[in-house]
Amino acid sequence: MNRRDFFKIVATSGASAAVAGGQRTTENILPLVVPNEQLVPGVAAWFATVCRECPAGCGVLARNREGRVVKLEGNPDHPVNHGALCVRGQAALQGLYHPDRFVGPGVPEGRGVRPVSWESARTQVSDRIAELRKSGQGRAIAVVTQLENGSLGALLDTWVQAMGARPRVTLEPFGYEALRAANRITFGRDAIPYHAFEDAEVVLSFGADFLETWLSNVGHARGFGRMHAFRDGRAGTFIHVEPRQSLTASNADEWLRNAPGTEGMLALAVLKVMVAEGLADRRFAETVAKVDVARVADQSGVPVERIKHVAEVFGHARPGLAVGGGVAVSGGNATDTLVAINLLNAAAGNIGKTVRFGPDSAYGRVTPYAEVVQLAKAMERGEIKLLLLGPGVNPAFTLPGGLKFADAIKKAGLVVSFASLPDETTALAGLVLPDTHWLESWSDYSPREGVMGLLQPTMSPIRDAKPMGDTLLAIGRAVLGTEEGKGPLPWGSQEQHLRSVWEPLVKTEWATALRQGGAWKEIAAAPVAARPVAVEAAAASLEGDPGGFALLAYPSFKFYDGRAATRAWLQETPDTMTQAVWDAWVEVPAEAAAKLGVVTGDVLKVASPHGALELPAYVSPTLHARAVAIPIGHRYAPYHVPRYVAAPPTPTNPVALLSGGAEPASGGAIYLGVSVTLAKNGGRRPLAILQATHDQQERELARHVDLRAAREEALRGRREPEEPISMYPEKQYPGYRWGLAIDVDACVGCQACVVACQAENNVAVVGKPSAAYGRAMHWIRIERWAEGRADHPTNLFLPMLCQHCEVAPCEPVCPVFAAYRTDEGLNAQVYNRCVGTRYCGNNCPYHVRRFNWFEWEIPAPLEVQLNPDVTVRQLGVMEKCTMCIQRIVAGKDGAKDEKRAVQDGDIRTACQQTCPTQAITFGNLKDDKGAVVGLVRSPRAYHVLDELGTRPSVTYLKKVVRDHA
Amino acid sequence: MGAKAGVGALGVVLLAILIFLAVSSWSRQPAVAKASIQPINFPHNTHVQTYKIDCQYCHSDARRSEYAGLPSVTRCLGCHKITAADRPEIKKLGEYLARGEPVPWVRVNKLPEFTYFPHKAHVRANLKCQTCHGAVETMTTFGAETGPTLTNDLLNLVGFRPAARPLTMGWCVDCHRRENATAGMHAPLDCVTCHH
Amino acid sequence: MPATTETILGVFAYVDTTVRALEDLKAKGYHDLTVYTPVPVHEIEEVLERDRPVSRVRLFTLIGGLTGTASGFLLTIWSAMQWGLTTGGKPVASIPPFIVIAFEMTILFGGVATVLGMALLGRLPRLTPSPSFDPRFTNDRFGVAVHVAPERGGSVREILRAAGADEVRP
Amino acid sequence: MSDSRSASPTFADVNRDVVRTLEPPGNLYFAWMCVVALILTAGIVAWTAQIWWGMGMAGKRTPQMWAMYITSFVFWIGIGHAGTLISAILYLFRARWRTSIYRAAEAMTIFAVLTAGLFPLIHAGRMWFAYFLLPYPNQRYLWPNFRSPLVWDVFAISTYLSISTVFFIVGLVPDIAALRDASTGWRRRIYGMLALGWEGADSQWRHYRRAYGLLASLATPLVLSVHSVVSWDFAMALVPGWHSTLFAPFFVDGAIFSGFAMVLILLLPMRHFFGLHAYIEEKHLDAMGKLILVTGLVLTYFYVCEIFTSIYSGDEIEKASLFWKVTKSYAWALWLMYFCNCISPLILFSKRARTSPTILYVVSILVLIGMWFERFNIIVPSLGHDFYPYTWGIYYPSLTDTMVVIGSFAWFFILFLGFIKLMPSLSIVEVKETLPPPLKDRGHAGHH
C-alpha cells in the first residue's frame, strides 16, 4: 500500500464537535475506508520534516490529527533550531490551507486559473521544449527556482542538462553575495561560515538583523539567548550599529546610531583603536594605518569615546563575534565593509572560535544577483522563449524596480510557474503547474554543511497539485522520448530520485532519518588564515536627490521577501517595534516629520529616481535623521473575506524604488543605493497600531535591574516566598498548581509565541479595521515599553497573557461562574456558560480577556487547520489564555497511562515550545525541584501590577540592563 | 375608537418584540439529536448478542483515543467477505470499498456544543459502554434521544425533578457524583475537564 | 342573606351628617354597620374603629418578610455549596454579598404577602356587588347600611332620616 | 370646560375631570403615537442586527467593554426613583402636595424600570442565554454566582419592578372602581374586572389603608437599595474611577435628581393638554423645583468629593484617570455634565423660575442630558484610561447602539402615552382626600 493511502480519511467523529455556532440537525461521522496503523482518530501523529519558508531550513515536527496537519513545532533534535520556530514557520500552515491556492493546473485568470488537464499542460510545455531544441535554441529555456541545494536541486540540474537549457538560476532576494566576496578576499573561501553566537562573550553587529531575517534567525536567536540572557550571574554583551532601531538593535545593550553606510569605516576605526590599545593582532596594524578615528566619528556620527569604548569591550572579549549584514551593509561598499568586519574578527582572534568555516551556510550556493541581471537582460532581448519558475520565487515582486524584471517577463515567450499561490509573477505567467506544498512533498534540504534535512509528506495534498520534480521528469521524458527507468531521467518521481540519493547516505538508517527529520554530523571548523588586506571603506554612495533621505529597505521579520505575506496570521502579528498590523508604512525621523508637518498615519509620497510609493507615515523618534525606512515584503491582502481584510490601496514594495544595479565587487543586489524625497499628499491612512503608548508611566509593568545589582542578588540565591496577607483562608490545591515564569531579559520580541498560540488555540483573525479598534483576539501579546531618552530608548519586551490570578478580579463579577479558579490554579473560562456581559473584561486590570465581537470568518479550507482539542468560540463569548489547558489535559492523561504523576517538562505550552530564547517556562508551582519554581523564587522575579493584590500565577523576571558608561 | 387604536399600536409593538426575541434567541439554543436513518441498516443486537462481538472489536479506538471510532470498511468486510455476503445491506459495503468512500454513518450520540468527552478515560475506568449508550445489544437500529430540552428546564422550574436526559450535563454530573460517593472513584467535577 | 335580618341603606351627601348618623346608631346599639365612602374619611373611621382591633395585615407583612430573608440566605449559601467554586479568592459561602440578595427577597416577599393579606381580609376580589352598594359611593356620596331584624327597621329609618340622609331605602 | 378653576373643586368635579382625560384622543395624540412607534421600530431593527451579526455592531471595544447600553441602563433605573420617592417616601411624610402627581410619577417609575430592564438583555453578548442569570433548578445543576453585582441587579430590579407594580395597582383599585361606576359598555366591563369589585366599604378601607402604608414603608428602603446596588456594579470593580465607597449615596441622589426632571417633563404637557391646572398647581411645580435644586446641590457636593478623594488619596493611577477625564478626549462630556447638573439648576433659586413651566421644562431637559452624561463619564472615560496603558483608547458610538438607545426612549414614551389614555393619570381618591370634605354645617368644619 502506498503512503498516500494512509491519509484516506475525510474527518472522524467528534472532530466537528469542536466547531461551535448554529445548531446542526444531522451530522455525518465518517470512518476510514482502510484501517491505518499510523493514525488513530483523536490521537495526534507527528511527522518530522524541514521548514521551507526561508533558506534557514529549520527542522519541523508536523502534528497530524485525523489526517490533517493542525500545528507545526520546531524539531527538538534538529541542530539548526533545536525545537524553536519563528513566526513564519509557525504560520506556514496558512500557506498550506490558503483559500487562494490553485485548485490545479491551468492558465492564470484573476485570483485563480482556467483549469486545463495535467496531460495537455505537460504536452504544451514539452512541445515547446521540443521545438526549441529542434531549432537549436536550448539556451532559450531558463529555469529559476528558490534555493534548492538537495536532491531536488540535483534533479533539476540534471534535467536542465538533459534539456540543454541554460544553467538553473536560484533566486534568493537576500543572497549575501557580499559576505561571500569578503570571505574570498580575506580568507580565500567563497563561503558563508557558521557564526557561533552561543560561544561569544561580546557580539558586535554592524546592521546584521540576526534576530529577524539574517541567515538563520531562529538559530541565531537561540544562540543569542544563550550568550546574552542573564544566567546564574553571567551575561554576555551585545553592541549593535545601525541607523535605525530595528528589533535586533533594540535588544542590544548598546545601540550606536550611525549615518547610513558608514559601518565599514566604523569597523576599521574600532580595529584601529584595538590595535593601538594592544587588544588586537599587530599584523593588522597596517590595514588600518590610514584610518583617522576622528574623521570616522565625524562622518558616522558616532563619537570617538563611543568607538573607543566599543573597541575596549570587544577587544577584551574571549571570544567576541563581529557580524555584518542587513540593509545597511548591502550598499555599493558592502564588500569593503564586510572585509573590514572580517579583519576585526581576525584581529580579535575569533576565526575558528565564533566564526567557523566548514559548517558553511547553504546561502553560499545562491546564484549571485549579477547573473539574475544577465537573465533579465537576455529576456529583455527576447532570448528567452521558455521560462520555468519554481515555487517560492516571485521575481516580479522581489527584484528591484530598476531591473524592470516584470516587463522582461512579458517578453519571455511561455512563462510556466510552479507556484501554488497566485502572486505578482503568476499573474504574468502563461501556465501554472502547481507544486505540492512542502508539507505535502518528498524532498530534502541542507541548511549548512553536515546537516541534511529530510522532507516527507505530512498529509495528502488538499489540492490537485503535483511535485515539481514529477512534472519535470514527465515533461523531460516526453521531450527525450524515453520511458521510465531509461535515459538521463530514469526516475519515476521526485520521491524515487530522493530515495536513490539517500539510500547510499543512510543505508539502513532510512527509518531513523525519516523519524528524526534528516541526518546530521558535527563538522569541525576548518583552519583558515586571514590575509591582512588593506581596505578603503568609504561611505556608501547614494543615487538621487543629495538633499533626500537614505532609503533603508529592510526585510520584514514577518514576511521575509514577501513570500509569507499571504498568511493572515502574520498580517495580524504586530511588528514589535511599531506594534502596527496589516499595512505597510514609511518610518520617518521625528525631525523630518516635524518639518513636513506629518503625523503617524498621514500618507507620504516617497519618490526615488526609479519609482514612487504612497505610504502612511510612522513617525519614529529613533531613526537616523538622514534616513527613512520601509519594510520589504508587505503584499496584497492574504485572502478576500468581506469584513476583515482590505488590500492596501497602493503598492507597498520599497524594492520598487531601488536601482537594480549590482555591487561590482560581489555581484550582490544593492539595497542601500537610493536617496528618496518625501512629500505630503494630504491623504490619511491610519495605521492599525495595537499599543496605545510605549510609555509605561512609572507603572512598572516591565521592570529592569542593573547587571551589577542582579549579580549581587543572584549570589544571595533563592528568595523565599513571603506569606500573602488575606482576610480569607488560603485556597488549597489538592493536586498540581500550574504556573508560568517569563524571563523579560530573555525575550527578544520575535512574536513567535503570538503566532504559535494563534495556531494552537484557534485564535481568530479579525482584520485591519477591527484590530485597529482594539478588537484583536491574540491571547498573548508582546508589548514594547520604552525607557529613557525618546531618541535612544531602552526597550523592554513584555509578553502579556492571562495572569491566572489567585485573587482574580474577573471571577467574582461574572454572574454565571463562567470565570472561576480551578483546583489546579488556573483561571478558567467556560465558554458554554458565558453570557457575554463583558464585566470580566472591564475588571481585568491587564486587559488580556478577548471578546468575540463577531462570528469571525474562517474561509475554507482554513477550518481544516483548527485544533480539534480546542473549542472554536461562538460570537458573544469571552475568551483568553487557558495556559493551553488541552495540553495539560493531554499531559495528565499521558502520565496516567504510565501510572505516574506529571513531571517537569511533560507539558509545554505552545508559546513556551516555540520560544527561540526559552524565555517562557511552564510548570507545577508545588514541585520545589521544578524549573518554574526555581525561576519564581529568583531574586529577579516580580508580578505585574502586584500592588493590586491579584497574586498572579504568571511570574516575570526583570530585564538585566548593562550600565552604559 | 382612538383609544382602541392606541391599544392596537401598543399591542402590535409588544407582540413584535416578543416574537423577535423568541425567534432570535431560540435559533441559538443547543441542538437535540434524534435517532435517524443510517446508510446501512446495521443491527447491533445480532452482532452483540447473537455473535457475542465485543464493542471494542469494532469501536477499537475507545481505549486509546478521545473518540470511540468506527470500524473501517475493510474491517467490516473482514467478516462479511464470507458471512452473509449475499445480503443486500452487506453488498453496500463492497460498493463503498470499491468507490473508496467511507460509510456516511449518521451521528446519533451528540454532545452539546463546547464539550469534550474522552472515551479513553472512561474505558480506563472500566465503564460499560451501555452506561452511556443504553442497551445497545438490544437495538435493531441505534437510536438515542439526547441533549437538553426546554421542557425539562420548565419541569424543573415548576418543582418537578425529571430524570436528566442522556448526554446532558446533569446526567454526566449525576454519574460522576454517584461514582465518587459510592464507588470511591475520582471522577473529576471541574468544569474545564470537559469544557475547554 | 338570611330572612331574619334586613339591610337598610341611608345615602348621605355630607361627611358630618354621616358621622352624626353613625353616632346615633351606635348610641342606640346598632353595631352591625357597613359604611361606603368614596375616600377614607378620618372622622368616620374614628367612629368605626373605636371598638375594633387594628387590621391584621401587618402580620402578613412580617411573616412574608422573614420568609424572604431566610430563603434569601438559604438559596445563596446552598447553591454556592453545590459546586463550591472559588471566585476571586473568596470563601465559597461569602455572607456579605449574600446579604444583598436576602434583603431584596425580604422586600419582595413582604410586599407580596401584604397585598395577599389585604385581599384576604378585605374579601377581595368580590365578583358580585353587595346589594346595598350604590355606584354613587365611588363618586361623591356616603352610604350607611344597617343590618337589623325586620321588626326594628322603623327606628333605624328614623335615625337615618333624622341625621339628614338624602335618601333611605328600602 | 371645567368651571372648577376658580373655587376648589368638589368630589364630583374630580370624577368628571379625571374621566374626561380618558376621552377618545385627538389627532395630535396619534401623531405622537406614530412618531414614537416609528423610532421604536428603528431601535428594534438595530437590536436585531446586533443579535444577528454580533456585539461588534455596537461600538464597544477593549477596554470599553461597556458603553452606552449600561449608561442608559443606569440612567433609566435612576429615572424610576423619583416615582417611588413621591409615591412612597412623601406618602410616609404625609406631604399632601404629592397626591395630584404621584400616579403619573408611579407609572413613570414602572415604565422606566421596564425600559432599564431591557438593557442588560440588549447588552449581553449572548442574550439568548440570558436566562442563565436566573436561579432556577435546571438540568445542568448550575446556579448563578450570587457574588456578582450583576446578579444583585437581577434581584434588585425584579424586586423593584414587582413591588412598584403592586404598589401602583393597589393605588389604582379604588380609582378604577370609580371609573367603572362612571363608564359604560366594554370599558365598564374591563374596569369592573380590574377594580376587583371594590366598593369602598369600611371593611375594605381599613385593610386597604394599612396595607398601603406597609407597602410604602417597604418601598422606601427598596428604592434606596436599588440604586445602591446598581452603583455597586461599578464600586465593586477595580477600575479607577469606579472603585469608590461614595457611589451608593451619589447614585441615589443623582437618580432622584434626574427622576424629578423626568416627572416634570411628563407632567407639564399633561397639565397643559388635559387642563389639570386645578390639581397640578403652582405649589406643586414650586415644590418639585425645590427638590431638583436641593438634589442638584447635593450632587455638586458629591462631584467635589469625588475629585477631592481621587487627588487626596495620592493614588497615581486614580489621579491620572481623573486628569485625563478633565482635560483629554472626553473632557467635553465631563464639562457638559458639570454645566447641566451643577450650574443649570441654580436658576431654580428664584421662585419665578420654579413656578414658570417653560423654565422648569428647559432645566429638566438639561438635567436629563447632564445625568445621562454623568453615567457615560463614569463608564467610558474611566475604562478608557485605566491601569494598563497598552489598551488605552477612545470609544466611538456606532449607528447600532445609538439607534437602540434612542429607541429605548421611544419605548418608554409609547408606554406612557398608552397609560394616560387608559388609566386615571390623576389619583381620584387621594385628590379627593386633599379637598375639604363636604360638610352640611360649615360651622362645624374641622371640629375635631
- Residue of chain A whose alpha carbon sits nearest to that of C86: A821
- Rounded to whole angstroms, how far apart are CA atoms A374 and A367? 11
pLDDT in tens, A418-443: 999 988 899 999 999 999 999 999 99
**Chain A interface, best mutation among D66, D139, D145, by max A CB count within 10 A:** D145
Q: Which three cell numbers stand for residue D273?
A: 393638554
Inter-chain CB proximity B3 and D22 less than 8 Å: yes
Task: Reply yes or no on whether the pLDDT at A913 is more than 80.
Answer: yes
Task: Report the pLDDT value the prediction gives residue C151, as an integer from 0 to 100.
Answer: 82
More confident site: A947 or A24: A947
3-state SS class at D175: helix
Inter-chain CB proximity C128 and D197 less than 8 Å: yes
Nearest Cβ partner for D30 among B5, B7, B152: B5
Angle at A650 between CA A646 and CA A654, to 5 degrees: 120
CB contacts < 8 A (A, B): 135
Inter-chain CB proximity B65 and A41 less than 8 Å: yes
pTM over 0.90: yes
- Rounded to whole angstroms, how far apart are CA atoms D91 and D107? 16
Task: Report the pLDDT value the prediction gives residue A319, as an integer from 0 to 100.
Answer: 92
Inter-chain CB proximity A874 and D61 less than 8 Å: no
Q: Name the residue type at position B152.
A: N
Inter-chain CB proximity C111 and D167 less than 8 Å: yes
Inter-chain CB proximity C88 and A809 less than 8 Å: yes
| Cβ atoms < 10 Å from Cβ of C131 | 9
Task: Reply yes or no on whether the pLDDT at A588 is more than 90.
Answer: yes
**Chain B interface, best mutation among A9, A23, A40, by max B CB count within 10 A:** A23
Cell 541607523 sits on residue: A243
- Rounded to whole angstroms, how far apart are CA atoms D255 and A906? 57
Provide, as residue numbers in chain A, all residues whose Cβ is less than 8 Å from the Cβ of D234.
Answer: none
Task: Report the pLDDT value the prediction gives residue B68, as an integer from 0 to 100.
Answer: 86
| Cβ atoms < 10 Å from Cβ of B168 | 22
Query: Among the residues of D349-398, which ranges form H helices?
Result: 351-355, 357-384
Provide, as residue numbers in chain A, all residues whose Cβ is less than 8 Å from the Cβ of D147.
Answer: 812
Compute CA distances D400 → D122, D123, D394, whole Å.
Answer: 11, 12, 17
Q: Which three cell numbers stand for residue A513?
A: 532519518
* Residue numbers of D between 161 and 220 with CB closer than 8 Å to A: none
Task: Report the pLDDT value the prediction gives residue A5, as an integer from 0 to 100.
Answer: 38
- Rounded to whole angstroms, how far apart are CA atoms C20 and C160? 9
**Chain A interface, best mutation among C90, C94, C98, C101, by max A CB count within 10 A:** C90
Contacts of A549 (CB under 8 A, 6+ apart): A589, A592, A626, A627, A628, A675, A676, A677, A678
- Rounded to whole angstroms, how far apart are CA atoms C19 and C10? 12
Estimate the share of chain A in helix, then strand, then coil, as percent rounded to the nearest 5.
Answer: 30, 20, 50
The pair phi, psi for residue A126, each rounded to 5°, is -60, -40
Q: Are A322 and A264 in contact (CB under 8 A)?
A: no
Q: Which three cell numbers stand for residue A466?
A: 503535483
How far, rounded to the nearest angstrom, does the alpha carbon of residue A371 sit from its chain's CA centroid? 27
Nearest Cβ partner for B153 among D127, D139, D417: D139
| Cβ atoms < 10 Å from Cβ of B130 | 13
- Rounded to whole angstroms, how far apart are CA atoms D43 and B24? 15
**Chain B interface, best mutation among A829, A889, A909, by max B CB count within 10 A:** A889
pLDDT in tens, A637-689: 655 555 555 555 678 899 999 998 999 999 999 999 999 999 998 899 999 99
Inter-chain CB proximity B153 and D422 less than 8 Å: no
Task: Reply yes or no on whether the pLDDT at A798 is more than 80.
Answer: yes
Nearest CA to A97 out of A964, A935, A876, A865 is that of: A865
Contacts of A460 (CB under 8 A, 6+ apart): A4, A7, A8, A67, A440
Task: Report the pLDDT value the prediction gives residue A509, as an integer from 0 to 100.
Answer: 86
- Rounded to whole angstroms, how far apart are CA atoms B162 and B152? 7
Nearest Cβ partner for A813 among D61, D62, D149: D149
Angle at A451 between CA A448 and CA A457, to 5 degrees: 110
Nearest Cβ partner for D126 among A834, A847, A854: A834
Nearest Cβ partner for A809 among D130, D154, D238: D238
- Rounded to whole angstroms, how far apart are CA atoms A204 and A572? 32
Provide, as residue numbers in chain D, all residues whose Cβ is less than 8 Å from the Cβ of C14.
Answer: 438-440
Cell 413621591 sits on residue: D86
- Bridge partners (DSSP) listed for residue A922: A740
Task: Reply yes or no on whether the pLDDT at D396 is more than 80.
Answer: yes
Task: Reply yes or no on whether the pLDDT at D353 is more than 70.
Answer: yes
Mean pLDDT of A390-408: 92
Could you give the domains of chain D? 32-436 (1.20.1630.10)
Stretch (H or E) spanning D273: helix D247-274
pLDDT in tens, D400-434: 999 999 999 999 999 999 898 888 888 888 888 88
Nearest CA to A40 out of B60, D55, C162, C132 is that of: B60
Task: Report the pLDDT value the prediction gives residue A773, as an integer from 0 to 100.
Answer: 93
Nearest Cβ partner for D141 among C82, C97, C107: C82
**Chain A interface, best mutation among D69, D73, D134, D148, by max A CB count within 10 A:** D148
Q: Name the residue type at position A687.
A: L
| Cβ atoms < 10 Å from Cβ of D159 | 25
Task: Report the pLDDT value the prediction gives residue A736, as an integer from 0 to 100.
Answer: 94
Give the residue extent of every domain in chain C. Answer: 1-170
pLDDT band at A22 (very low <50, low <70, confident <90, very high): very low
pLDDT in tens, D74-98: 999 999 998 888 888 888 888 888 8
Q: Name the residue type at position C80.
A: A
3-state SS class at C148: strand
Q: How many residues are there in chain B? A: 196
Q: Which three cell numbers stand for residue A686?
A: 491610519
Task: Report the pLDDT value the prediction gives residue A8, as an integer from 0 to 100.
Answer: 37
Task: Report the pLDDT value the prediction gives residue B135, as an integer from 0 to 100.
Answer: 84
Task: Reply yes or no on whether the pLDDT at A284 is more than 80.
Answer: yes
Residue C88 to chain A, least CA–CA distance (Å): 4
This model of the complex carries an ipTM of 0.90
Chains touching A by CB (3 or more pairs below 8 Å): B, C, D
Q: Which three cell numbers stand for residue D198?
A: 371594590
3-state SS class at A602: strand
CB contacts < 8 A (C, D): 202
3-state SS class at A476: helix
Tens place of pLDDT per residue across chain B (196 aa): 444 555 566 667 667 766 766 665 565 555 555 556 788 888 888 898 888 899 988 898 888 888 888 888 888 888 898 888 888 888 888 898 888 888 888 888 877 778 889 999 999 888 998 888 888 888 777 766 666 677 777 777 776 777 777 888 888 999 999 999 998 888 999 999 999 8
> In this predicted structure, which of A519-523, A612-616, B97-101 has the lowest mean pLDDT?
B97-101
Task: Reply yes or no on whether the pLDDT at A35 is more than 70.
Answer: no
Q: Which three cell numbers stand for residue A501?
A: 540519493
Mean pLDDT of D159-173: 93
Inter-chain CB proximity A823 and B68 less than 8 Å: no
User: Mean pLDDT for chain A?
Assistant: 90
Provide, as residue numbers in chain A, all residues whose Cβ is less than 8 Å from the Cβ of C83.
Answer: 817
Question: Which of left, alpha, beta for B40 (phi over 0: left; psi -120 to 50: alpha)?
Answer: beta
Nearest Cβ partner for D422 among B3, B26, B153: B3
Inter-chain CB proximity D125 and A877 less than 8 Å: yes
Inter-chain CB proximity B69 and A40 less than 8 Å: yes
Strands A580-581 and A611-620: unpaired
Q: Are A88 and A95 in contact (CB under 8 A)?
A: no
Positive or negative torsion for Cα D158, D164, D170, D175: negative
The pair phi, psi for residue A91, each rounded to 5°, is -90, 0
Provide, as residue numbers in chain A, all residues whose Cβ is less than 8 Å from the Cβ of D236.
Answer: 812-813
Residue A914 to chain B, least CA–CA distance (Å): 22
Provide, as residue numbers in chain C, all residues whose Cβ is less than 8 Å from the Cβ of A808.
Answer: 87-89
* Residue numbers of A between 274 and 293 with CB closer than 8 Å to D: none
Please give the sequence-ordered ranges of beta strands (E in DSSP) within A390-432, or none if there are none: 414-417, 431-432
Inter-chain CB proximity D62 and A835 less than 8 Å: no
A816 touches chain D (CB under 8 A): yes
Nearest Cβ partner for C138 among D156, D200, D229: D200
Inter-chain CB proximity A726 and C89 less than 8 Å: yes
Inter-chain CB proximity B67 and A12 less than 8 Å: yes
- Rounded to whole angstroms, how far apart are CA atoms A37 and D269? 83
Task: Reply yes or no on whether the pLDDT at D447 is more than 50.
Answer: no
User: Mean pLDDT for chain C?
Assistant: 89
Mean pLDDT of A76-84: 94
Nearest Cβ partner for D414 among B13, B20, B165: B13
Q: Are D139 and D110 in contact (CB under 8 A)?
A: no
Strand arrangement, sheet containing A68-74: A45-50, A59-65, A68-74
Q: Which three cell numbers stand for residue B61?
A: 479506538
User: Mean pLDDT for chain D?
Assistant: 90
Give A524's Cβ-side CA count (13 Å radius). 3
pLDDT band at A156 (very low <50, low <70, confident <90, very high): very high
What's the Rg (C-alpha) of chain C?
25
Mean pLDDT of A811-829: 95
Give B72's Cβ-side CA count (13 Å radius). 19
3-state SS class at A865: helix
Strands A549-555 and A59-65: unpaired
Inter-chain CB proximity A726 and C90 less than 8 Å: no
Taking the CA atoms of residue D276, residue D277, residue D282 and residue D283 in that order, the dihedral angle to the nearest 10 degrees is: -60
- Rounded to whole angstroms, how far apart are CA atoms A357 and A342? 13
Cell 393579606 sits on residue: C117
> In this predicted structure, which of A23-32, A90-99, A233-242, D41-50 has the lowest mean pLDDT?
A23-32
CB contacts < 8 A (B, D): 83
pLDDT in tens, D274-303: 888 888 889 899 999 999 999 999 999 999
Task: Report the pLDDT value the prediction gives residue B112, as an integer from 0 to 100.
Answer: 76
| Cβ atoms < 10 Å from Cβ of B107 | 16
Nearest Cβ partner for B195 among A17, A34, A831: A831
- Residue of chain C whose alpha carbon sits nearest to that of D171: C115
Chains touching C by CB (3 or more pairs below 8 Å): A, D
3-state SS class at A563: coil
Task: Report the pLDDT value the prediction gives residue A843, as an integer from 0 to 100.
Answer: 95
Provide, as residue numbers in chain B, all residues whose Cβ is less than 8 Å from the Cβ of A21.
Answer: 113
- Rounded to whole angstroms, how far apart are CA atoms A741 and D425? 67
Nearest CA to D202 out of A603, C41, A942, A408 is that of: C41
- Residue of chain D whose alpha carbon sits nearest to that of B29: D128
Cell 389604582 sits on residue: D172
Nearest Cβ partner for D140 among B24, B157, B170: B170
